Amino acid sequence: MVITGAGVACAIGVGKAACLEALRSGRSGIGPVRYLQTALKDFPVGEVPLSNAELGQLCGAPVQWSRTTLLSVCALREALDEAGLKDGTGMFLCGGTTVGGMDVTEKNWPSYSPHHGCGATTDLAALFVGGFDDATTLSTACSSAANAIILGANLLRSGKYRRVVAGGSECLSNFHLNGFHSLMILDSEPCRPFDATRAGLNLGEGAAYLVLETADSARERGVRPLARLSGFGNACDAFHQTASSENGEGAFLAMTKALRMSGLEASAIDYVNAHGTGTPNNDASESAALRRVFGSSLPPVSSTKAFTGHTTSASGSIEAVFCLLALQEGFLPPQLNWRTPDPACVKPCCGQADAAPRHILSNAFGFGGNDSSLIFSAYE
């Protein structure tokens, strides 16, 4: 199956062009809180650099809607435009979110918002953009958007649809920020994935969607694909509610399943976009899994969460768009903020401006060990 369109909104920019510039130049979007009304001002975040009013003006949607939905509409429209489609006619929308419309409920409490539910945010975006046959929402924490992409791919494989749109959206909320603070895994400084001094993550927000279609459908429409989704895998080791196992079993299983589906040897992977949250537990666990999969032939690895913050449920699709940009534009994103090696972790790459990756593995791991891996390949 092929990818014919992609759209993104995150801390480093709204739209693929802005994100490409930031990834190439090493410009992070993490900084002080600007829009979220929170008491936790000491923790930097990756906010989309537009207010709700500005997002509404940009996409034409009502500013009273959840920020999750406003971000969805922006990313959906860019993806459909790039694919040469005016709306979602004849397609299914697979969305991923966990926070949903929590931000609207927080503003109106004790009144309960009808936009509160995870499904409501996806459904509103689908109705506003128009044409979609139906929509569904997956909520598997930080693997939500990746799993939405897997669901969309399976709908294509089933023959039920020839084109789908899949991805995810997540806005910052107090529920969100306070929850991660209660786990004591927020860093008061910019996050440092895989660094020996790492102390936690920075929360982020954003949205991204991919237009997936069969190769036959793309040919019939005369559209040149951006890339192929050549493999994917999901596993759930259920090791712990929030922690990852020492040997990275769930991550290992997800990556090996993706490789098996793609028909590729591990040595064919040219770059790994790591889950890389910057927490002591995640980065050591993911490193153990990467070493199990790749042995001594580890490809370049970096985590783009040092650019965007951890966008939780949207991370799998936002980072999928970054992988597409790397394939199309011929570069590898650098690992920002890394300075001190940790024997428990892989040594991340410093970026490469003139690379020519053909196969990229992207990881998205969720609470409860719900781990997913996607492989994107250059279209030839």
Q: Which residues are catalytic?
A: 142, 275, 310
DSSP 146: H
d(C-alpha 313, C-alpha 299), whole Å: 26
> Which residue, 203, 196, 207, is CA-closest to 177?
203
Tokens 């490409």 map to which residue? 20
Beta bridge partner(s), residue 2: 213, 228
110 upstream amide cis, omega within 30 of 0: yes
Structure tokens at 134: 């139906």
d(C-alpha 189, C-alpha 28), whole Å: 13
Structural element, H or E, at residue 181: helix 174-182
The answer to whether 207 touches 318, Cβ cutoff 8 Å, is yes
How far does the chain reach from its first CA to its final CA, in angstroms?
13
> Which residue, 124, 109, 108, 294, is CA-closest to 207?
124
Is the alpha carbon torsion for 282, 288, 289, 293 positive or negative? positive
